[in-house]
Amino acid sequence: MSHGFDPDMIRIAASSNFIGGRRIMGHAAKRPVLRPSDGFHYATLDCASAAQVEEAVNDSYNAYRHSGWAKADPRDRMRVMRRWADLIDADMDHLAPLEALGSTRNIAEIRAWDVNYSAECIRFFAEFIDKVGGEVATTTPNKLGFTITEPYGVVAAIAPWNLPLVMSAWKIAPAIAAGNSIVLKPSELTPFSIIRLAELAIEAGLPKGVFNIVQGEGYAVGDPLVRHPLVGKVTFTGSTRTGAAIMAACAETGPKPVTLELGGKSPQIVFNDTADLDKTAAIVAKAITLNAGQVCVAGSRLLVQDNVADQFIDRIITAFKAHRPGPTWNSDATIGPIISEPQLDRIDGMVQRALASGAEALSGGSRAPSPQQGSFYSPTLLSNVTSDSECVRDEIFGPVLTVQRFSEEDEAYAMANDSRYGLAAGVHTGDLARALRATRALEAGTVWVNRYGRSNDMILPTGGFKQSGIGKDLGREAYMANLKSKVALIEF
Ligand code: NAD
């Protein structure tokens, strides 16, 4: 069934900030927002002024102190969050095209996953509200020692553009479930769909001010937000460079706790005992072409055992060449656009430098022809690269896969771990003992065996090692990261 839509039929409201339960027009500069699928200037973003960032945080703090959300009966809080999730599901016909319009996600994927998954994430974190809290400690018998969990107050969240609704839901849901208020700054490239979530939260009964949104660029809006003295915790998803700047800002103005979900350069290791090379090739190809490679956990480094390498590489080339690029509103497209022309130039620059220094493009290697003016890149497979090549070391954030060969198992782990990143890793093998050795040996926050990518099991946390981040999204850990623990010791 086709879910395509006409992008010109979608209207974007003029005011894009959300403070105190309603849309507010930003008072700072305006910025054009383009559709990556065709480069069309479809809306203008009204950025928040410094005074409005201040207002949003103060309002959020006021809601934390006085709205009753943090102190509400846990079951009442759960009911509001469940109602909110139901409203999101019911808003599919409005929300899905809005998300697809200005992002890189195809409408079919958004309808099949992003909207319902974001709603389910809200339900998932609501379930912790009356089930997870402090603990009674074992002390000497004349005392009672226990911990109580309390919200931080105002949580500042900064989101990236690559999956706008889902990445924001990962931040908003645990923070609000835990009783905090939140001020979110979405990416300036994909600012609009998330406002709908805030409107639905109010409709569900979330008190005004518990979820505020300020819009604009990182340096002008994100930086003062994370530095604000009333912000008790910061949670960020984005590049490693921005994450480090945010951590420094938090140290200078707090210190305050930070959760950082950052970049990656994740390996996919294919051993020669992999049972089904066709199936594995489909998994490996999808892991770097999903969302045109603009996924933090994109499997961007293929490490393949030398005696199956040629046949495996042929399968990857076939899979790459079968892709049909197309706009996000065409549900038949199999690969979407790159978020912006500057980002496409960055990807192409890295590919051209790799080719100039001896790499070979076995597939792709240039921008993809597109019927409109959109920013599309051909799925690219680069061979003749080494572990110190820029294209192997640095995150490209596009549909570009490098391939290197290995002969021994330990060599594969050494190559996989030779990276400043440690977000995820994939291993394909038919040998259970090897699979277990790999999960121990690989320096990554997540190791997938004979699959690549998350399941819908939100109980499994996600987060990076090394320069891929600090702390976790999802799982019990993300809920607990939005609470601080107070100790009580009573003597009698
Ligand atoms: P980015 O770092 O450029 O921007 C992310 C957000 O930070 C945006 O909202 C931006 O406006 C804001 N920002 C920029 N400078 C800031 C500052 N000084 N202070 C406060 N906020 C600031 O990242 P991006 O290009 O939007 O997203 C792509 C990156 O995100 C990739 O590196 C990708 O790997 C990473 N990512 C990681 C995960 C994960 O879970 N680990 C998930 C998705 C994306």
Dist CA 239 CA 98 (whole Å): 25
Q: What is the Cα Rg of the chain in Å?
A: 23
Q: Which of ligand 1's atoms lies nearest the C-alpha of 296?
A: 34
pLDDT in tens, 406-463: 999 999 999 999 999 999 999 999 999 999 999 999 999 999 999 999 999 999 999 9
What is 7-262+469-491's CATH superfamily?
Aldehyde Dehydrogenase; Chain A, domain 1 (3.40.605.10)
Tell me which fold the domain 267-462 belongs to: Aldehyde Dehydrogenase; Chain A, domain 2 (3.40.309)
Chain centroid to CA 97: 19
| The one catalytic residue among 55, 261, 391, 395 | 261
Binding site membership of 245 for ligand 1 (Cβ less than 6 Å): yes
pLDDT in tens, 16-40: 999 999 999 999 999 999 999 999 9
How far does residue 391's CA lie from ligand 1's centre (Å)? 20
Given this model, what pLDDT does residue 2 score?
Answer: 66
Q: Which of ligand 1's atoms lies nearest the C-alpha of 161?
A: 26
| Cβ contact 422:464 at 8 Å | yes
Question: What does each C-alpha distance from 484 to 43, 57, 146, 178, 225 come to in angstroms?
Answer: 40, 20, 13, 10, 21
Given this model, what pLDDT does residue 372 score?
Answer: 75
Q: pTM surpassing 0.75?
A: yes
Q: Whose CA is nearest to atom 39 of ligand 1?
A: 261
> Considering all CA atoms of the chain, what is the largest pairwise distance in Å, rounded to the nearest integer?
78
Average pLDDT over residues 181-196: 98
pLDDT in tens, 288-320: 999 999 999 999 999 999 999 999 999 999 999
pLDDT in tens, 81-92: 999 999 999 999
Whether residue 1 is predicted with pLDDT greater than 60 in this model: the reply is no
Task: Show me where the domains of the chain are located.
Answer: 7-262+469-491, 267-462
Whether residue 328 is predicted with pLDDT greater than 90 in this model: the reply is yes
DSSP 414-430: HHHH-SSEESEEEEE-S
Q: Whose CA is nearest to atom 11 of ligand 1?
A: 218
